[in-house]
Structure 1
Amino acid sequence: MAKLIELKIKTPKNIYQKLTHALCPHREEPARSLIFIVEGTKKRPIIGIRYPGKKLRKRELKAVRVNSALWANLYDFEVVPYKNGKEINTQKFTFDELLKDFQENKKNSKRFWMLLEELYNDNVINKKPPKLPGIDSTMYLLVLKWIWIQEDFNYRFNWEEVDSPIRYVLETRTGTRTGRGAGRAKFFAALILLKEYFNFEQVKKIIPLY
Structure 2
Amino acid sequence: VPGLVAMQVRAIAEAVVARTRAGGAPEAEIMVPLVGAVEELRIERAEVERVLAEVSEETGVPVHCPIGTMIELPRAALTAGPIAGEAEFFSFGTNDLTQTTWGFSRDDVEAAFFSAYLDKGIFATSPFETLDRDGVGRLVRIAVDEGRAARPDLKIGVCGEHGGDPGSVHFFHQAGLDYVSCSPFRVPVALLEAGRAALSGTAASDSR
Name the TM-score class by shorter chain.
under 0.3
Larger relative contact order, structure 1 or 2 (CA cutoff 8 Å, min sep 6): 1
Structure with larger Rg: 2
TM value normalised by structure 2: 0.26
- Whose helix fraction is larger, Structure 1's or Structure 2's? 2
